[in-house]
Amino acid sequence: MKIAVAQISCSLGDPEANLSKVRDFSRQAKETGAELIVFPEMTDTGYSMPVIRTHAASWTSGFVPGIQEIATKLSIAIVSGVSERDGSSIYNSQVLVDAAGEIVAKYRKTHLYAVAPVEEQTCFAPGDAFASFAIGDLRFGFSICYDLRFPEMYRKLATEQNVAAFVISSAWPFPRVEHWSVLTQARAIENQAYVIGSNRVGKDDELWFCGSSAIIDPRGIVIAAASADREELIHADLSQELVDSVRKRVQSLGHRREDLYG
């Protein structure tokens, strides 16, 4: 199947402008033949804790219904990072809307970036479960930005939920661009799975985002890559057969010594 990754900037605190960008990039992705397009973290509000606290909304109105309308009209599945207000809590979430416009899966970021000056814990409640979804014969696992630093999460998704492709929505900043590149390839290599990383460009508050969105195959080969500083659409074909072939040739997931390290 063909998938696309949108590398975009966001208008801080302007969900309508950001929804218009989702519409434009989704249309472009559909024209390439993509069945799924992935957008970055906090695509609706931009990545600023004060702004998110003001603009986070229930998914019954606003940005998410807008994504559902786009998905329906274009007949394309969409994964996007979005704020999610649920009662008195706000979550840093991902949503999957399928090509029929239905919300079929979601994930709430489990590892919050509790480091100054961002301090996500002052805005978000943490999620408490990992999540995955299937499109065709491929199973995809959700993850968001800082999650990338926790390999245990990806290993559990690969071994317990049979995930063959990891979808990462991110707002990763420039000072750690090398970390982004190394860690995305590492997660692909060690789990023999695709990594689909959609990262922001542009600036929110004092953070400059480093782009470098990428699609990496189960061998760790970068098969599509974006620049560090421009809005772009990248795309690639994914194959469950390749995942199966790589995992069969070197059965490292089966060689783990869980008796030693759990």
- Other beta carbons within 10 Å of 159: 14
Whether 130 maps to a domain, the answer reads yes
Whether 259 maps to a domain, the answer reads no
Q: Read out DSSP for 169-190?
A: EE--BGGGHHHHHHHHHHHHHH
From 30, 35, 84, 109, the catalytic residue: 109
Domain with 186 in it: what CATH number? 3.60.110.10
Q: 41 an active-site residue?
A: yes
pTM above 0.95, yes or no: yes
**Residue 31 banded pLDDT, cuts 50, 70, 90:** very high
Whether 173 maps to a domain, the answer reads yes
From 10, 30, 35, 41, the catalytic residue: 41
- Other beta carbons within 10 Å of 252: 13
Q: 16 an active-site residue?
A: no
Whether 262 maps to a domain, the answer reads no
What one-character DSSP code corresponds to residue 62? S
Structural domain range at position 177: 2-250
- Residue pair 27/74 in contact (Cβ under 8 Å)? The answer is yes
Whether 7 maps to a domain, the answer reads yes
Expressed in percent and rounded to 5, the helix, strand and coil fractions of the chain are 35, 30, 35
> Quick one: pLDDT at residue 70?
98
- Total number of domains in the chain: 1
Residue indicated by tokens 């995809």? 140
pLDDT digits 0-9 by tens, 195-207: 999 999 999 998 9
Whether 258 maps to a domain, the answer reads no
From 10, 120, 123, 145, the catalytic residue: 145
